[in-house]
Amino acid sequence: MLLLVPISVSELLDKISILELKAAAITGPEKRANVTRELAAPDELRRREVMPSPVVEALYSERSGAKASSEARWGGSAYHPALELG
């Protein structure tokens, strides 16, 4: 079941960055495929609804903004295999 919940642009970018970091860290092809599918919807929403701007680019860039924040919170990676269920 999917729920539609209003979120800010920064929350959307944070979700995308965490999923991208998780996809990069996962080694199993089946699990990586699941993360890639999970990433598709928020990434498409970003492309369709978020107007490009210097502020958005700063939030979304590789070493600053959402990704840096996610990496800092998770000790260098937004994903750790120990957090995987099943």
Instruction: Express each pLDDT in 57-73 by its tens digit.
Output: 777 665 555 566 666 66
**Which residues does the chain have with pLDDT short of 50?**
78-79, 82-83, 85-86
Q: Domain tally for the chain?
A: 1
pLDDT score at 33: 93
Residue 8 included in any domain: no
Residue 10 included in any domain: no
Quote the domain boundaries for residue 47.
24-80
Dist. CA 63–CA 34, nearest whole Å: 25
Residue 5 included in any domain: no
Residue 38 included in any domain: yes
Query: Concatenated DSSP letters for 28-39?
Result: -HHHHHHHHHHH
| Residue 21 neighbours by CB under 8 Å, 6+ apart | 67, 70, 71, 74, 77, 78, 79
Residue 67 included in any domain: yes
Measured in whole angstroms, the distance separating CA 21 from the mean position of its chain's CA atoms is 7
* pTM of the entire predicted model: 0.67
Residue 59 included in any domain: yes
